[in-house]
Amino acid sequence: MDGLKQALGMEWTIMPAGGNTGDAYVAEKHNKRLFLKRNSSPFLAVLSAEGIVPKLIWTKRMENGDVITAQEWMEGRELKSAEMQDPEVAELLSKIHRSQELLHMLMRLGKKPVTTDDSFAHICSRLSQLEITEFPDVERAIRLLEKLLPLTRNQKQVVCHGDLNHNNLLRSTSGYLYLVDWDNALIADPAQDYSMILKEYIPMEAWQNWLEDCGVAEEENLPARISWYLLYETLAEFCLRRDKSDAAGMQAQLEELRTLNSRITKFILTSSAE
């Protein structure tokens, strides 16, 4: 923190801002505040220019090689879970997925598209040491993933946030909506982002309306693609819980898989009928 004071000025008061990495801080001087972060991605500058995160004020490189970014402090609040259904959230997500500037910057930073074939091979490898016949819901989910895999190929690749939850959506006191915490950003099928919001925040009977708000309801094979990511993410969480020897967590994911396996079949059939 001493290095931060040297970069910013000794008259500033600097406090940890919380978070998982411990690299975020709040700086204050004479009722002026800045949000500081250590070693943010250069991607932040484009996000700021696009109005997706609070305005980037400056970037400084420290003597030890660390890069400090300062953003405008935003007075506001995190969204509540129920607010994730607001059309404005869908509109912001659509803006991000359409942005060529964001896509080009991630590609310049060396990000490669993550394909469903790569992800399928990864999850099969993680499950290879597991006798999946002992877990019928896992076995059924893998069969569904394999069955849906051809329908997920050759899709448009866009910038995906990768960690869409209500804590990362901030509404300023002026009413502007921001999406923060881009550490998990990737290039992938936008259905990956859709699946995260649908699973956690949107009742199944409202899925179609929410996708229409995003302007993507008519995309090719969209129900199958969303279903694929719903299953994949749940299987990945199951593997994580297994690695941690978290029996209760494993059981919770198995119950989630059981629900998804039946829900997805219904979702695909309903969407096909429409």
Among the listed residues 163, 181, 183, 189, the single catalytic one is 163
Three-state DSSP at 57 gives strand
Whether the Cβ atoms of residue 155 and residue 226 lie closer than 8 Å to each other: no
Dihedral-angle region of residue 181 (phi above 0 means left; psi in -120 to 50 means alpha; beta otherwise) = left
Any catalytic annotation for residue 2?
no
**Which uninterrupted H or E stretch holds 36?**
strand 32-38
CA atoms within 13 A on the CB side of 173: 4
What CA–CA distance (Å, rounded) separates 142 from 148?
Answer: 10
Whether the Cβ atoms of residue 233 and residue 196 lie closer than 8 Å to each other: yes
CA atoms within 13 A on the CB side of 35: 17
Residue 134 tokens, joined:
């002992």
What CA–CA distance (Å, rounded) separates 154 from 259?
Answer: 28
Side by side, which strands form the sheet with 32-38? 13-16, 24-29, 32-38, 67-72, 56-61
Whether the Cβ atoms of residue 172 and residue 78 lie closer than 8 Å to each other: no
Catalytic residues: 163
